[in-house]
Structures are given as C-alpha cells and as structure tokens.
Amino acid sequence: MAVISSDSMAGRSILGLARQLSEFVYVCAIYLGIAVLITVVLGATVPSLREQARQVHEALLVALRPDQRLNQIWFASYGADGYGWATSSGKAADLLDGGELPPEDAKAESHAESATRSSTAPQLSFSKALKLSVQGRHVEGITAAQAEALRSYLARKFKIAHSVAGALVNTVFVVAREKALDPQLVLAVIAIESRYNPYAESHVGAQGLMQVMTKVHKDKFEVFSDGPIAALNPIANIRVGTQILYDCIKRRKSIEGGLACYVGATGPSDGGYGAKVKAEWRRIALASGIPVGR
C-alpha cells in the first residue's frame, strides 16, 4: 500500500507539473500572439505616422522660414518685410512713405486701381503699419489721445499686442475712409466676426479678421498675387471685407440692412448680428472718444 501511495503521489506531481507547463505555454502563446498583432499594426501605421510627422515638420519650416512665394503674406503679417505704404504717385504723407512697390505688389496694384480702389488710394504694408504703431504714430484726423485710447481698448479686450492693435487701427482708418465708412464700424465688425484673430476660420470657410467667404468672393482676391490665400493677410482681408461691407450698405440703403447683408441674412431677421455690431461700435466710440459716424 505504501508503494502504491508513493506512485500515486508521484503521478499527481507529474500531472500538476504538466498542467502548469501547459498553462505557461498557453500564456506565452497569447502574449506572442499579441506581440505579433502589435507588430503588424505598427508596421501598417508607422509609415503613415512618419508621413504625417514629415508634413508637420515641413509646415513648420514654411511657417518659420517662408520661401519667396509666401514672403508677402507671412512677412507682411508679422512685420518682416521692408517696404512701406506708398501712394501711386509716390508722394509722401504723414503715414504714407514714398517708394516703389515690390514687383508682385505692383502687379496687384495695376489690376486693383480699376477694381477696388482709386488711383490715389494708398497701398498698405502691414509691416509698415506695425513699425509706425511701435513708434506711436497714428492716422490723420484723430488726436494722439484718441488713437492711444482706441488701441488700448482693443488690445486689452481682445488680448492682442498693443502695437498690433495700433497697426490694425491705422489700417482700418485708411481703408474705411477710402469707402467713406466710419472706421469704428469696421473695427466693430472685426470684433464680432473674429475677435481680432487674423487666422480665424468658421465652419463654413469664412476666413480672417472680417471672416470673408473666399469661395464666394474669390474674384475680389484676384488683385492679390496669392489669390484667396491672401485672406489670411490682415491688409488684404480688411480691404476685401470693407469692400463687401460697403457694397452691402449701398445695396440695402442703410447700415442696418448692410450688416444683415454682410452676415448673409436674406429674411427680416439677422439673428441679432446687427445689434451686436452696433453695440460694439458704440463701446469702441465711447472708449476712443471719437463720435460715431465721424
């Protein structure tokens, strides 16, 4: 009986070891399968991830070191180009410096004279506007205190650089006056449309400071050598947006109707858009001390 009991215990031990070994092999097989699956998945996805990383890297290089084709847009936006504001006659004014335009701008100007501006309209460079803003200079027709109050209000409320606020104010005043519009109305439209983000884009494709629909107004960007992508340039966006606002007001015979047209309202209601713009218009005028409609 002792021998049988010993053999039985030995058999149980062997069975236990065999069971543990089989469980170990089973677990190893599972992990090996998972490893193979992960390897296959990574093999399929890593190349695409590498391609995406390469594209992001190239985009960063373009943004940080623009090539010649993009210099006008990106350098103008960040104030890195070296040319100034010039009238077509080349005569210097308070904020308008004489000098030749770069070839691409000269080409755009030759087309633009008959389309969106008069032959004596100033050609604007955002870099120049930015430099003049840093120097504390402002457009004619308003006092230094009014200009400072206006740029301080915009910089504080919309969290943009003080110098950029001044450059945008100078730009809007020049462009809006070309169309006999109240510059502060245009500033209010920018506030409601983009909150002064020049790279804003809506879900329907409206872009830039004044949220211009480039697909709808593609023809208005033909005067710019870079076409619709110029909507991301503050100067181009303000010019086209102001032109659209002017056309809307002229068509609807009133500012209220023009604002409804600008936002795309076809019925009697504009969803409160006009009221928002007019309220901001009054706040801007109150902050600057410049009367509404001046």
What is the pLDDT, as a whole number, of residue 129?
82
Please give the helix or strand (H or E) that residue 212 lies within, else none. Answer: strand 212-213
Tokens linked to 166: 């001044």
Measured between alpha carbons, how far is 72 from 165 in angstroms, rounded to an integer?
A: 20
> pTM, whole model, 2 decimals?
0.61
**Which residues lie below 8 Å from residue 35, measured CB to CB, with a gap of 6+?**
none
Q: What's the CA angle centered on 209, arms 160 and 195, to 5 degrees?
A: 50
Give the integer Cα–Cα distance in Å for 179 and 190.
Answer: 16
pLDDT in tens, 62-75: 445 444 443 443 34
Instruction: Indicate left, alpha or beta for 86 from its phi (over 0: left) and psi (-120 to 50: alpha).
Output: beta
Kindly report, residue by residue over 26-47, the tens digit of the pLDDT: 888 888 889 888 887 777 666 6
DSSP class per residue in 118-170 = -TTPPBP-HHHHHHHHHTT---TTS-HHHHHHHHHHHHHHHT--HHHHHHHHH
User: How far apart are the C-alpha atoms of 20 and 26, rounded to whole Å?
Assistant: 10
Beta bridge partners of 207: 201, 212
What gap in Å lies between CA 264 and CA 100, rounded to an integer? 39
The 10s digit of each residue's pLDDT in 252-268 is: 999 999 999 999 887 77
Burial of 137 by CB count in 10 Å (0-12 exposed, 13-18 middle, 19+ buried)? middle
Of the spans 10-24, 89-103, 122-136, 205-219, which averages the highest pLDDT? 205-219
Q: What is the tens place of the pLDDT at every residue in 87-126?
A: 333 332 344 333 333 343 444 444 444 444 433 334 557 8
Determine phi and psi for 123, rounding to 5 degrees: -95, 125
Q: What angle do CA 153, 199, 48 make, to 5 degrees?
A: 145
pLDDT tier at 128, thresholds 50, 70, 90: confident
Rounded-to-integer distance, Cα 203 and Cα 27, Å: 51
Nearest to 136 by CA among 167, 109, 172: 167
Would you call 206 helix, strand, or coil by DSSP?
Answer: strand
Query: What average pLDDT does range 176-192 have in this prediction?
Result: 96
DSSP bridge pairs for 201: 207
